[in-house]
Amino acid sequence: MFNAFRTTVLLAALTALFMAVGYFVGGTSGMMLAFGFALVTNLFGYWNSDKLVLRMQNAVPVERSRVPELYDMVDILSRKAGIPTPKVYLIQSDQPNAFATGRNPQNAAVAVSAGLLKHLDTHEVAAVIAHELAHIRNRDTLTMTITATFAGAISALAQFGLFFGGGNNRNNPLGGMGSLLMVFLAPVAAMVVQMAVSRTREYEADKGGAEISGDPLALASALQKIAGQAGRQVNVAAERNPAMAHMYIINPLSGQRMDNLFSTHPDTGNRIEALRKLAASMQVDDKGRRPQPRQQPVSTGRDIGGGWRVPTVGRTDEDGGQRGPWG
């Protein structure tokens, strides 16, 4: 119920912002046109924004026969999260990162980059997927996906109005200055909305994901690795569509276009510290393991490239402790 209310409030706020942009670009007529456009965007965003986001981020569906270990991991973690198994997509990027999308848990997808499978170990990948499943379970994916669609549309509307002479429109209350201001201020306003939606939800998804995977320190390690690589590996699709950046587990934009005050993501160091405190409360040691009776490995899985091996059921570490009982 709360999530439905939150989504309604978000849609109302974005619609109002849309109308404000239309008003300052084209006066009353511009506001009415923007309102109609907002209604269409609302409907489109609810039914199709997930497909649009996946396509714009160069995410392609992968067959189970190609990476069965990854599918098994997503399936096991989904059952632990108590949600249907989402579709699996691969992002064509060397930057390690991931995001989830979909209007509800029954129509959801998890997208992981090729770089994530290359640079992270099995337990870190599992922790990242669990984080994204927590977003799906919390129904964050609808609000985050619609926000991304609206943010891009708001920026496009402001630029469209300026390009087609909005600055010379006599109905424009601020004339050319109004259009010029909207070109710069509308994306900032959309970014503030994204920030409000994303920041608190990331902390909640970190906590939920750590509980699903049972390995908060693996998620902390994954966040550290991803953040370190994000500044060095360019995610071309994200750079072309920065309005989608808040959907990723770590900001995919190289160089952080805005400082931390305006970042759509919480500070990575703060997230890691919160996960370490959670690990202490869960009595997980500094290697991310709980003491367990010694047992033999059930399966070691197969190498799918980049040295990444995913067990089919679970893996026991060499000293007898089982790390991250996600299997």
Integer Cα distance of 299 and 303 in angstroms:
12
Residue 245's contacts (CB-CB under 8 Å, 6 or more residues apart) are: 238, 251, 252, 253, 264
Integer Cα distance of 76 and 31 in angstroms:
49
Cα atoms found within 13 Å of the Cα of residue 167, Cβ hemisphere only:
10
User: Active site includes 63?
Assistant: no
DSSP string covering 34-73, please?
Answer: HHHHHHHHHHHHHHHHHHHHHHHTTEEE--TTT-HHHHHH
Integer Cα distance of 322 and 309 in angstroms:
16
Query: 3-state secondary structure string, 156-195?
Result: HHHHHHHHCCHHHCCCCCCHHHHHHHHHHHHHHHHHHHHH
Q: Which of 124, 132, 239, 273 is catalytic?
A: 132
Q: Which is nearest to 10 in space by CA: 116, 111, 145?
A: 145
Residue length of the chain: 327
Q: Are 312 and 301 in contact (CB under 8 A)?
A: yes
Helices (H), 57-121: 68-81, 114-119
Integer Cα distance of 241 and 303 in angstroms:
33
Q: Residues with catalytic annotation?
A: 132
